[in-house]
Structure 1
Amino acid sequence: MKLSQFKFDLPDSLIATTPSDQRDEARLMVLDRNTGAIEHKIFKDVINYFDEKDVMILNNTKVFPARMYGNKEKTGATIEVFLLRELNKELRLWDVLVDPARKIRVGNKLYFGDNDLLVAEVVDNTTSRGRTIRFLFDGTNEEFRRNIEILGETPLPKYIKRKATAEDKERYQTIFAKNEGAVAAPTAGMHFSRELMKRLELKGVEFAEVTLHVGLGTFRAVEVEDLTKHKMDSEQFIIDQPTADMVNNALDEKRKICAVGTTSMRAVESAVSAGKKLKPANDWTSKFIFPPYEFSIANSMITNFHTPESTLLMMISAFGGYESVMNAYEVAVKEKYRFYSYGDAMLII
């Protein structure tokens, strides 16, 4: 398929910049991928579509406060430093993006916080905006992490043109987040409240956790018309044996298996055995899913509404059927559903 086939008109007014008042009260569109039929619900109604021993696959990655602001030595110029991933815990080496990049060269020092709570030195150029920095810090790992928490901001996507707030620190995160490492949230999971999780649990729905540390590549634009030529950024994912066992049991019993979010779907589709079962893994994936594609594990999914020409829209079109999904998006725009990270949800069954 071609990039231009995933274009649609999305008014700026439908891009959500704040979360819904309550996690589980965002709107929910339900799409039947066999018939194309559409229902309009509230997210907490999702419980009505699952039964005892059905499995929901949740991404338990945790977003860390990756956006920091420091000052360059001598000039005092303010520099945004976006922490991408830790390369070496002992040496405190990090892969980062800097802005404005033209001002930052190897050897420069950056100072963060009052009384220079943290100091970093630029040790390498990686891309036009990418740098490797080394934090010059002698304390413990716990003290270092505490300082990152103090200095860092919730890494809201750039299209949200406002400062992150205390509310964002809680809401731009799932309630089941535990394994720190993401710089963007697995947003479909943010609709689950504790009350809804408890109700699902009482109904007998099982939760299988995977970890996929979401990177900035989730927002990267596709710049080639021929989708076979697009390369995805690599992201780390972990699937343990208990999760594989739970999902495989559900497969054997022909239960409903729901991937909560494109990140959960990407993780499980990156760990399929020759026998079309889920296998444990601790690896990196650069898997790009677009139509046509045969899915092996999940037979339903929950996702947010995505932007035109995004890799996320391409994945759900592969799962829900290109024509059905593009028609559903036309309906979503007409019905004024909210799009993107803080937007409304879709259940594809």
Structure 2
Amino acid sequence: MRVDLFDFDLPADRIALRPASPRDSARMLVVRPDGLADRTMLDLADALRPGDCLVFNDTRVIPAQLEGRRGDAKIGATLHKREGPRDWRAFIRNAKRLRDGDSVDFGAGVSAIASDRGEDGSWRLSFDGDEPVELLLERAGRMPLPPYLAGKRPTDARDAEDYQTMFARKAGAVAAPTASLHFTPRLMERLAAAGIGHETLTLHVGAGTFLPVKADDTDDHRMHAEWGRIDAATAERLNAVKARGGRLIAAGTTSLRLLESAARADGTIAPFEGDTAIFITPGYRFRAIDGLVTNFHLPKSTLFMLVSALMGLETMQAVYAHAIAAQYRFYSYGDGSLLLPA
């Protein structure tokens, strides 16, 4: 499909620079085949059914943004995918000043050797020393806010907490599964009281999720691979939900993409561990999920293409026109929506 079909006019002031406080006070647009309803995230239990199950991503964002020097040249690095115990694939700023085998000093006793430049312009960074890379990043790195936020204000101490979900357990993501930022213990108690369950899986979100679609046609765009895992016990419980007539509601596009990657032809979930580069556009047949909680995405983004595949492009164009007119807040720190297809 032509990428320009997924374009729309988004006023710059609709991009939220901070999350709602408290988090569960964010607005929520409920989208069903019979229409739209303006609610808040605290109303989520009323919009779902007893026996439904929300599926969250328990990845934890690491401080994957690094600033360093190679000699007198400033080098910026955004880690996006782990390739080994000490190796990360990274997008590099000022890459023209970097050569294979160069050492980059990121300060605080942290350095890495650059090698193996990829076709996408990324480099492998192999971190020096014996300390776990996670400890090195805690010293020298900062939270990797999406470009549309980082371009409007600097990252600060608040982001270290604001950009983690309550489910964050397994370190490895360089972007938050932002739909889950709306969830709080209070909201989870309401959901449990309403008979709505939840499960977690792991997808380490990569910086490739921020990359613009530069191709003119969706067939020519290539997604970056991300590592995910659904263990056998979790897959069994998810299948039991569906066998009882419950619905699987993905809490975020990251959970949705991993569930769909693990789905068998009959819609059941298989255990999964490995990379996925699934790219969902209109025409895709969903096998695993029955609904989606998600934020409002940017024009021509792969995520707007995904929600258009779920609900239909014309429907989502009307949904976003309503959201913009009704002053919903967009993007990572913005408001949420509940999408329930026919």
TM class, shorter-chain normalised?
Answer: over 0.9
TM-score with structure 1 setting the length: 0.92
Label 1:276 to 1:128 Cα distance change in 2 as closer, same or farther (>3 A): closer
Larger deviation, residues 44-53 vs 279-288: 44-53
Is 1:340 the counterpart of 2:326 in the alignment? no
Which aligned pairs between 1:58-137 and structure 2 lie closer than 5 A?
Answer: 58-73=56-71, 75=72, 77-89=73-85, 92-114=86-108, 117-127=109-119, 129-137=121-129
Match of 2:25 in 1: 25
Match of 1:14 in 2: 14
Letter in 2 for 1:126: G
Label 1:86 to 1:322 Cα distance change in 2 as closer, same or farther (>3 A): closer
CA distance in 1, matches of 2:266, 2:290: 17
CA distance in 1, matches of 2:262, 2:46: 29
Match of 2:130 in 1: 138
Deviation of 1:197 after TM superposition, in Å, equals: 1.4
**Residues 80-104 of structure 1, C-alpha deviations (whole Å, 9 max, x = no match):** 1222233221xx2222222111111
CA distance in 2, matches of 1:2, 1:112: 41
Is 1:193 the counterpart of 2:184 in the alignment? yes
CA distance in 2, matches of 1:96, 1:58: 26
Deviation of 1:260 after TM superposition, in Å, equals: 0.7
Letter in 1 for 2:142: E
Maintained 8 Å contact 1:251/1:297: no
Deviation of 1:128 after TM superposition, in Å, equals: 6.5
Which aligned pairs between 1:1-349 and structure 2 lie closer than 5 A?
Answer: 1-32=1-32, 34-35=33-34, 37-73=35-71, 75=72, 77-89=73-85, 92-114=86-108, 117-127=109-119, 129-139=121-131, 141=132, 144-160=133-149, 161=151, 162-349=153-340
Paired residue secondary structure (1:233): coil
Maintained 8 Å contact 2:54/2:197: yes
**Residues 130-177 of structure 1, C-alpha deviations (whole Å, 9 max, x = no match):** 2222222134x2xx4223112110000112122211211111111101
Paired residue secondary structure (2:147): coil
**Residues 36-93 of structure 1, C-alpha deviations (whole Å, 9 max, x = no match):** x1111111111212343310011111111000111223x2x3321222233221xx22
Structure 1 gaps, min length 5? none
Maintained 8 Å contact 1:79/1:99: yes
Deviation of 1:287 after TM superposition, in Å, equals: 1.3
Structure 2 gaps, min length 5? none
RMSD across aligned positions (CA): 1.7
The number of residues matched between the two structures is 338
Label 1:284 to 1:107 Cα distance change in 2 as closer, same or farther (>3 A): closer
Letter in 2 for 1:72: R
**Aligned structure 1 segments of 4 or more residues deviating by more than 4 angstroms:** none
Identical counterparts, % of pairs? 37
Maintained 8 Å contact 2:178/2:332: yes
CA distance in 2, matches of 1:94, 1:7: 33
